Amino acid sequence: MLTKRIVPCLDIKNGRTVKGVNFVDLRDAGDPVVLAKQYADLGADELVFLDIAATLENRKTMHDMVLKVAEQVNIPFTVGGGISSVEDVDDLLHCGADKVSINSSAVKRPELINELSDKFGSQCVVVAIDAKEVDGEWLVHLAGGTIPTALNLFDWAKEVEQRGAGEILFTSMNHDGTKAGFANEALSKLSDLVNIPIIASGGAGTIQHFVDTFKDGKADAALAASVFHFGEIPILELKEELRIKGIPVRL
Which residues of this protein are in contact with other proteins, per CB under 8 A? 1-5, 40, 45-46, 70-72, 74-76, 93-98, 120-124, 166-167, 195-197, 220-221, 250
Alpha carbon distance 166, 90 (integer Å): 17
* Per-residue b or e along 42-67, where b marks 16 or more CB atoms closer than 10 Å to that residue's CB: bbbbbbbbbbebbeeebbebbbebbb
**Nearer to other proteins among residue 76 and residue 234 (C-beta):** 76
Nearer to other proteins, 121 or 177 (CB): 121
Active site residue 130: yes
Cβ at position 221, least distance to other proteins in Å: 7
| Per annotation, catalytic residue among 11, 31, 51, 176 | 11
Rank residues 60 and 94 by Cβ distance to other proteins and give the closer one.
Answer: 94
Could you tell me which residues come within 8 angstroms of residue 85 by beta carbon, excluding any fewer than 6 positions away? 105, 112
The SS3 assignment for 141 reads: strand
Are 204 and 187 in contact by the 8 Å Cβ rule? The answer is no
The catalytically annotated residue of 51, 130, 176, 212 is 130
Q: Select 100 or 173, whichever has its Cβ closest to other proteins.
A: 100
Interatomic CA distance for residues 147 and 133, integer angstroms: 13
Query: Which backbone phi and psi does 171 adopt, to 5 degrees?
Result: -110, 125
φ/ψ bin of 102: left (φ > 0), alpha (ψ from -120 to 50), beta (otherwise): beta
Q: Tell me whether residue 1 or residue 56 sits nearer to other proteins (CB atom).
A: 1
Say if residues 199 and 221 touch (Cβ distance below 8 Å).
yes
Per the annotation, the verdict on 25 as an active-site residue is no
- List residues with catalytic annotation: 11, 130
